[in-house]
Amino acid sequence: MDISNNRYQIQGVDLLELANTYGTPLYVYDADKIKSQFDKLKSAFDGVKVRIKYAGKSLTNLSILKLLRSYGSELDCVSIQEVHMGLKAGFTADQILYTPNCVSFDEVKQAVALGVMINLDNISLLEQFGNEFHGTVPVCIRLNPHIMAGGNKKISTGHADSKFGISIYQMAHIEKVVSTYNINVTGLHMHTGSDILDAEVFLRGAEILFDAAKHFSDLEFIDFGSGFKVAYKEADIVTDIEEVGAKLSAAFKDFCKSYGRELEMWFEPGKFLVSESGVFLTKTNVVKTTPATVFAGVDSGLNHLIRPMMYDAYHEIVNISNHGGTKRVYTVVGYICETDTFGLDRKLDEVKQGDILMFKNAGAYAFSMASNYNSRLRPAEVLIYKGAPHLIRKREEFEDLLRNQVEIDLD
């Protein structure tokens, strides 16, 4: 993002003009930033056979999926609907990993029929899988490494009380099920959480996976999940992806030598690839002064960006209508009938009614978690690609709220 003549731009496209053209609230994504993040991750692991599978749940817009596919990414899906979206975006079945949690076996069978790689994370489903397919369909097993990691308990998935993965302490049970049903295990998987800073977390998890791999003779890949942390504010500490790449690649090469053949290394980044590419533009509806606080109330709320309320996530907020103005302190809030505070006591360039406030780091788990709460409409999305804006989702209209409702006659 650049500032030219006090105007914020992405690839030379003026953000205030986008707000005027498409209205607010509005999500805007920078294709160049997504490409640079993908290339950075790919190059960090250039010494091994690596496959990057974008975590589609972070931003599932069809155009974003197609964009990442064009860069060489594959896809990680957590629902059968995401699998269908991936196929529609042009990913082939062999490029898609399906990692469900607490789903019915019927959904798993649908995924098998589509030909994608199945990643199972509980013993009951593994038994049903073996009984149904008798070793004819390859499968990956998701293990819980019992590592507490991540920036927030709600995004830590590898700890002892997590619903995700099969505990490493149940390895004997896993082996028994695999042997009984002659299950073809071709991959092992773990994911400890998001916003992980320390390369040692990945190395501890790797050692656990390497030890588990000794129990399976026909592995083709090991999937290390993701969780790389990006910056949310100036001078924020981030994952040193080059350090992680160097250390983990070296450990992986040593393991492959002892295993007897070269395996593939898989990752499933979501936030790392798209978070910093996105900004969220909102219009200031009111500036409200109370005895203790000055509120800047915008035309959005937790229905469009729930991360600050759900995860205590920090999003830098900028008044792009008054760059360089006098600094004042505001609490930025939404228009939902809940306490939907985006930012508490933020020092912003003076805000007036009608000003456009920009939320940074709004590319991941932002629109994808949006809702119609309070019967509000979900916003439009725009992708800046090759220096030009492209509308990739229209703003909802009132008819969209009624589309699947069935009105009954009460007379």
The first and second tokens of residue 203, run together, are 């190395």
Q: Picking from 43-57, 193-207, 279-293, 298-312, which range would have the lowest pLDDT averaged per residue?
A: 193-207
Q: Band the pLDDT of 194: cuts 50, 70, 90.
A: low
pLDDT in tens, 102-133: 999 999 999 999 999 999 999 999 999 999 99
Residue 238 has pLDDT above 90, yes or no: no
Residue 96 has pLDDT above 90, yes or no: yes
Tell me the percentage of the chain whose pLDDT exceeds 90.
Answer: 85
CA dihedral of residues 40, 311, 347, 240 (deg, nearest 10): -20
Residue 199 has pLDDT above 90, yes or no: no
Tell me what pLDDT residue 160 has: 52
Residue 209 has pLDDT above 50, yes or no: yes
Tell me what pLDDT residue 321 has: 98
401/306 Cα distance (integer angstroms): 20
Query: Which segment, 108-117, 207-216, 226-235, is predicted with the most confidence on average?
Result: 108-117
Q: Is 242 helix (H, G, I), strand (E, B) or coil?
A: helix
Of 239 and 33, the structure prediction assigns the larger pLDDT to: 33
Is 330 annotated to bind a ligand? Reply is: no
Checking DSSP bridges between strand 26-30 and strand 278-289, what pairing results, if any? Answer: antiparallel
Residue 395 has pLDDT above 50, yes or no: yes
Which spans in 260-338 are helix H? 271-274, 307-311
- On average, the pLDDT of the chain sits at 93
Residue 341 has pLDDT above 50, yes or no: yes
pLDDT in tens, 141-186: 999 988 754 444 444 444 456 788 999 999 999 999 999 999 999 9
**Interval 255-266 mean pLDDT:** 97
Is 181 annotated to bind a ligand? Reply is: no
102 is catalytic: no
Residue 217 has pLDDT above 90, yes or no: yes
Q: What domains, with CATH codes, occur in the chain?
A: 2-28+275-402 (2.40.37.10), 60-269 (3.20.20.10)
237-264 burial code (b ≥16 CB/10 A, e <16): eebbbeebbebbbeebeebbeebeeebb
* Strands, E assignment, 90-243: 96-98, 117-120, 139-144, 166-167, 185-189, 221-223
Tell me what pLDDT residue 163 has: 83
Tell me the percentage of the chain whose pLDDT exceeds 70.
Answer: 95
The first and second tokens of residue 77, run together, are 């899906």
Tell me what pLDDT residue 234 has: 79
**Interval 31-57 mean pLDDT:** 96
pLDDT in tens, 54-94: 999 999 999 999 999 999 999 999 999 999 999 999 999 99
Is 261 annotated to bind a ligand? Reply is: no
Is 227 annotated to bind a ligand? Reply is: yes
Is 311 annotated to bind a ligand? Reply is: yes
pTM score, whole prediction: 0.93
- Residue tagged active-site, from 77, 102, 140, 337: 337
45/41 Cα distance (integer angstroms): 7
In angstroms, the Cα distances linking 279 to 38, 312, 318, 382 are: 18, 18, 10, 10
pLDDT in tens, 304-314: 999 999 999 99
257/241 Cα distance (integer angstroms): 24
* Strands, E assignment, 178-313: 185-189, 221-223, 264-267, 278-289, 294-298
378/19 Cα distance (integer angstroms): 15
